[in-house]
Structure 1
Amino acid sequence: MTPADLPRHSVSVAGVIADEQNRALLIRRRDTGRWEPPGGVLELSESIHDGLRREVREETGLEVDPVALTGVYKNMKRGVVALVFRCEAIGGELTTNPEVTEFRWATPDEVRALVVEAFAVRVLDALKTGQVAIREHDGTNLV
């Protein structure tokens, strides 16, 4: 087996932006209609924080400052490791785009109702303070 034949992981980043009432900013993805925190796959040549800032800016129009790593999550079916950060919005303006149809500020209870478990837990973990969460999921549910 050559190195090219070995299974590969990809790394994604997501930013949870919270307001003064501890509500999280969610995006509705145009391709799936799902509510999620903004984020996406890191490019090979970029740093983790640069990729996080780029993805959040592309999906929301906001400039953010990463405050803290709040969780590490692995999609066991797809081999995607996601790094989730609590972020502070420092500029920009919410703007829909080809990837996002709308935005919503959601309370923890609304996150539980609107977002599939594998993505809701990322937001809920980020809204808490404390240890970094490390969890596995199948793309929808925790495993």
Structure 2
Amino acid sequence: MDHSSRHSVSVAGVILDDHGRALLIQRRDNHHWEAPGGVLERDEDILTGLTREVREETGLDVEPVALTGVYKHMLRGIVALVFRCRIVAGHLTETDETRAARWVTADEVQSLANQAFAVRVLDAMRFAGLPAVRQHDGTHLLGAASALGS
């Protein structure tokens, strides 16, 4: 197998509060605002990786409710699976991986995060039953979006 054709898989959890706001974290490494998440370990299943990543970045234990989108970073070969999640335990805390966290409206998501990461949160906030499927270059969306089953 040609190693340049390999992909990595990441996961992110979009957590909504009782007011419909989403939790965004500001990453320590690049200062970007995005949903908590990260790359799966090679021997890790998807849901274990999701809950681990969210806990590492927020201090919260979550349970996935629905897969809301699949996104591919076309330049880096990263496929991201995004889930809407609900909190089951823990307390929101600053961690080694996050500088800050805040609950934001859809408008605030668009002003804080770049397009490629904001759309993941917005798709989860507006989720209507079918996951979105999108491509991006790390900053901007590429091509037309679709939903599974359409």
* TM-score using structure 1 length: 0.96
Q: How has the CA–CA distance of structure 1 residues 91 and 117 changed in structure 2, closer, same or farther, with 3 Å as cutoff? A: same
Instruction: Tell me the amino acid that sits aligned with residue 32 of structure 1.
Output: N
What is the CA-CA distance between 1:129 and the residue it aligns to?
2.5
Corresponding residue for residue 136 of structure 1: 135
2: CA distance between counterparts of 1:139 and 1:9? 15
2:6 is matched with 8
Alignment length, in residue pairs? 141
| Equivalent in 48, 51, 56 of residue 53 of structure 1 | 51
| TM superposition shift of 1:5 | 3.8
Post-superposition CA distance 1:23-43 (Å, at most 9, x none): 000000011111000000011
Identity of aligned residues (%): 62
CA distance in 2, matches of 1:4, 1:93: 44
CA deviation map 1:86-118 (0-9, x unaligned): 000111011112210110100000001111000
The aligned runs of 1:109-120 (5 Å cut-off) are: 109-120=107-118
User: Where does residue 27 of structure 1 map in the other structure?
Assistant: 25
In structure 2, give the amino acid aligned to 1:114. L
Q: How far off is 1:52 after superposition?
A: 0.2
2:145 alignment counterpart: none
Distance 1:44 1:79 in 2: 15
Q: Give the Cα separation in 1 of the matches to 2:120 and 2:127.
A: 13
Distance 1:74 1:129 in 2: 19
Instruction: Name the SS of the counterpart of 2:6 in structure 1.
Output: coil
Say whether residues 1:74 and 2:72 are aligned partners.
Answer: yes
* Shift, 1:4, TM fit: 4.9
SS of match in other structure, 2:5: coil
Determine the C-alpha separation between the residues in 1 that align with 2:3 and 2:63.
Answer: 38
Coordinate RMSD, CA, aligned: 0.9
Is 1:43 matched up with 2:14? no
2-structure distance, mates of 1:55, 1:13: 8
How far the C-alpha of 1:46 sits from its partner, in A, is 1.2
Query: Unaligned 5+ residue runs, structure 1?
Result: none
Moved beyond 2 Å, runs of 4+:
none
Q: Which amino acid aligns with 1:119?
A: F
TM-score under structure 2 length normalisation: 0.91
Q: Residue 84 of structure 2: which of 83, 86, 110 is its match?
A: 86
